[in-house]
Structure 1
Amino acid sequence: MRLHRNLCFTVIDSLHSIFNEEEFAGKVVEKALKRDKRWGARDRKFVAETIYDIVRWKRLYNEIAGTKDHYSRENLWKMFAVWAVLKGIDLPDWKYFESTPVRRIKGKFDEAQKTRVIKESIPDWMDEIAVKELGADAWSKEIAAMNQKAEVILRVNTLKIDIATLQKFLRKEEVDTEIVRDHPSALRLVERKNVFLTEAFKRGYFEVQDASSQLVAPFLQVEPGMRVVDTCAGAGGKTLHLASLMQNKGQIIAMDIYAGKLAQLKKRAKRAGVHNIDMRVIDSTKVIKKLKDSADAVLIDAPCSGIGVLKRNPDSKWKLQPEFLDNIKKTQAEILDSYSRMVKKGGKLVYATCSILPSENQNQVKNFLDTHKEFKFVQDRKVSPSKSGFDGFYMALLERIE
């Protein structure tokens, strides 16, 4: 592979924004890809994947480069050189790569494999907590799996099209897909492409949604005609899935504390042909109280550490702090206590997170059941990144006793 100056400069500028200005990697990559309209698919792929790669392996590359966790432009070029050498890319005769110790880089990489926090490029505190909760062997497998590149998974919108017809439609647009076993509405992209530019997307035939995330809505066991509340709806990925499972019949109340996210859901619902969603901003406790004892099913896709989705959000490793984890566990308990009141007798509740830590998952459910005898445990499911190849998720199905 030959390195091109304008692409490399874009990568360095983007890393500066992420590491020094604390911008989110997803937003930075999105902005970077608009930098030059002349770039082709290969150029765009290089920029996006290189940025994510260096963000993902920030600690490892920093250790090898000897840049001491200081991200000046000079040091960013040193980290870039480490990335290129480890990828087997010949460094061009540029001033940024003068005196790059190629042999020493490879030797330091081999040495780094002996220490998990450096080998897997994670903060010490995260490693300590995960080892305590999961055990060293299990955590080693999980973090190794989450350091792999995330695949693009689509969820077929069954309100508009079936999975076989969508595959054919996408093939005509030069997008090849594969069926994902045990995920009835999922298609995996054979080769990463910008599917948001396809006619199929514009027609609302699919949403981009990880395979593990696609397990949550069916876990609630909804049926057409029900009254369902999605309490932490966000931009509505799971809300739209619930609508398709309910065949657009009944009522879904999509709630969130952020009005902007519900505005995004409104646009997505229109594209998807969904018309049974009622959106409500949680701006006071009255919103919850009005729905007391009224829902056939309630989904709590709770805010969490996101430790199960590091594969697709590698910069969250560096943004997440231990005190956030302590605070979010308190928030989860409060949400469970408050939002569960909307479930009517005989109704169902699903508590879900995209974390793999028991303290955010089964421990929260146990604590809730210990203090809420009106609910009984039905079943739960833990999705392991190392076993599934997808994001880490947890979901528990509870039922309110008649």
Structure 2
Amino acid sequence: MQAYKIKMRLHRNLCFATIDGLTLIFNEGKYADKVIQQLLKRDKRWGARDRAFVAETTYEIVRWKRLYSEIAEVKEPYSREDLWRVFAVWATLRGIKLPDWKYFENTPSRKIKGRFDELSKIRKFKESIPDWLDEAGEKELGKAVWTKEIEALNQQADVILRVNTLKTTKEKLQAELFDLEIDTEFIKDHPSALKLKERANVFTTEAFKNGHFEVQDASSQLVAEFLNVEPGMRVVDACAGAGGKALHLASLMENKGQIIAMDIYDHKLKELKRRAKRDGAHNIEPRHIDSTKVIKKLYDKADRVLIDAPCSGLGILRRNPDAKWKLQPEFIENIKKTQQEILQQYSRMVKPGGQMVYATCSILPSENKNQVDTFLASEMGEVFTFVKDKSILAHKSGFDGFYMALLEKKK
């Protein structure tokens, strides 16, 4: 985080909206993305720049909550006055001239900059993370790697599109967006990816409504590729969620064969159905996991199984900065047990000679390689061989942190 100078006038109604949003996120534990969606509907007269100000300022303050609170000398639960003080810290560090509103009376600008310089020498304040997370990251990744990684995870994420090859090509989509003054570039080693050169709202475009692309980070796009699918196969996406990877699999399989998209949350599968229709993906069959029977029916029947396991989500902090404050160490311990149970149970759907990918959007080896090793050393894992894996760190790739391992079931 650096301090710099911006010529910007603060508008009262936009600042009020930001303070209201922060109250919901910090004091009531609401999810930042949902709160921002609501805030953006508040005033029909707001233009794109106004909305961008509210969204980006809210996210920034959420991202740097610990650092700003420390500088402002305020603690949770925050009063409205506290949040204005935090807001004043944000503005001062950005070199924005504070208007003479009562909320900003007696803002100690010089002291703020001094405190910022002082706290920037201590990683947990500089990168604005809880103590436990700082300790866990250093323990698992080592001091040097963790320092670089958490810095990278605090950068704003790029907008990456995945071209839906069932409907168009990368070149055609690039041209279509260029006509709308949305400039994109290809990403090396990511065959279906287009990266926006500048942030833009792509969801209002005809190209999106017609299912020509999905928004999906570059690292996440590598997972479906890792599964080695071919048209005509029977593939199970065992933790499909709203189906980002299932839709990618459908395009890699050219709509031929069968993708069984499973999840314990039915509402996510309903969203997948809607997205599949828009994308023209006809070979996806959603199945709600409401009992173990659903899994048992598929024992030894799938050519490929994707386990995109529930995880800490530490690899995607760039797009979910509020997760830093919601995550608890107990959650990570519990999720590791869940990951191993899922591996033990869902791996039984792979048929002899078939393959399976275990993937997470975490950067912690204890959720990744260690889980695969534990599985392979177990009775269930004895029938599998390790083919390859890939660890993606944000500070090296510039994209989300991810892990994926490919295993093969012996014939």
Query: What TM bracket, shorter-length normalisation?
Result: over 0.9
The residue number in structure 1 matching 2:101 is 94
1:58-207 aligned within 5 A: 58-207=65-214
- Number of the residue aligned with 2:284: 277
Corresponding position of 1:255: 262
Distance 2:200 2:75 in 1: 36
Tell me how far apart the structure 2 counterparts of residues 149 and 91 of structure 1 sit (CA, whole Å).
Answer: 25
| CA distance in 2: counterparts of 1:309 and 1:16, whole angstroms | 23
Match of 1:333 in 2: 340
The one of 362, 365, 386 equivalent to 1:377 is 386
CA positional deviation for 1:194:
1.1
Aligned counterpart, 1:400 = 409
Q: Deviations over 1:342-370 (max 9, x none)?
A: 00000000000000000000000000000
Which letter maps to 1:213? Answer: S
Number of residue pairs aligned between Structure 1 and Structure 2? 402
Q: Is the 8 A contact 2:218 2:400 kept in 1?
A: yes
Which residue of 1 is the match for residue 24 of structure 2? 17
C-alpha distance in structure 1 between counterparts of 2:187 and 2:14, whole Å: 34
Does residue 299 of structure 2 align to residue 292 of structure 1?
yes
SS at match of 1:228: strand
Given that 2:177 and 2:183 are in contact with CA atoms closer than 8 Å, whether structure 1 keeps it comes out as yes
Q: What secondary structure sits across from 1:79 in the alignment?
A: helix
SS at match of 1:253: strand
Do the aligned residues in 1 keep the contact of 2:156 with 2:319 (CA within 8 Å)? yes
**In 2: Cα distance, 1:246 partner to 1:182 partner:** 19
Alpha-carbon offset, residue 61 of structure 1: 0.1
Partner of 2:4: none
Give SS of 1:347's match: strand
- For structure 1, list consecutive stretches of 5 or more residues without a partner in the other structure: none
CA distance in 2, matches of 1:377, 1:180: 28
Residue deviations 1:56-88, cap 9 Å, x none? 000000000001334111000000000000011
1:389 paired residue number: 398
**Matched AA of 1:188:** K
Runs of 4+ off more than 2 Å: none
What is the match of residue 215 of structure 1? 222
The one-letter code matched in structure 2 to 1:374 is: V
Amino acid at match of 1:115: I
TM-score, normalised to structure 2, is 0.97
Deviation at 1:229, TM superposition (A): 0.0
Shift, 1:174, TM fit: 2.1
Shift of 1:104: 0.3
Which of 239, 248, 253 aligns to 2:246? It is: 239
Deviations 1:113-136 (CA, angstroms, capped at 9, x unpaired): 111100000000011111111111
Q: Map Cα deviations across residues 34-77 of structure 1 (whole Å, 9 max, x no partner).
A: 11111111111101000000000000000000013341110000
- Quote the Cα distance in structure 1 between the aligned partners of 2:189 and 2:58: 32
- 1:349 counterpart SS class: strand
- In structure 1, give the amino acid aligned to 2:147: S
Q: What is the TM-score of this pair, normalised by structure 1?
A: 0.99
Contact 2:202–2:208 (Cα < 8 Å) also in 1:
yes
Quote the Cα distance in structure 2 between the aligned partners of 1:20 and 1:70.
Answer: 6
Tell me the SS of whatever aligns to 1:100.
Answer: coil
Give me the whole-angstrom Cα distance separating, in 1, the residues matched to 2:77 and 2:67. Answer: 13
Measure, in 2, the Cα distance between the counterparts of 1:209 and 1:190.
15
The amino acid that maps onto 1:324 is: F
Contact 2:26-2:77 at 8 Å conserved across structures: no
The letter of the residue matching 2:153 is M
| 2:186–2:193 Cα contact (<8 Å) kept | yes
The answer on whether the counterparts of 2:386 and 2:407 sit within 8 Å (CA) in structure 1 is yes
Unaligned runs of 5+ in 2: 1-7
Separation (CA, whole Å) in 2 of partners of 1:186 and 1:277: 22
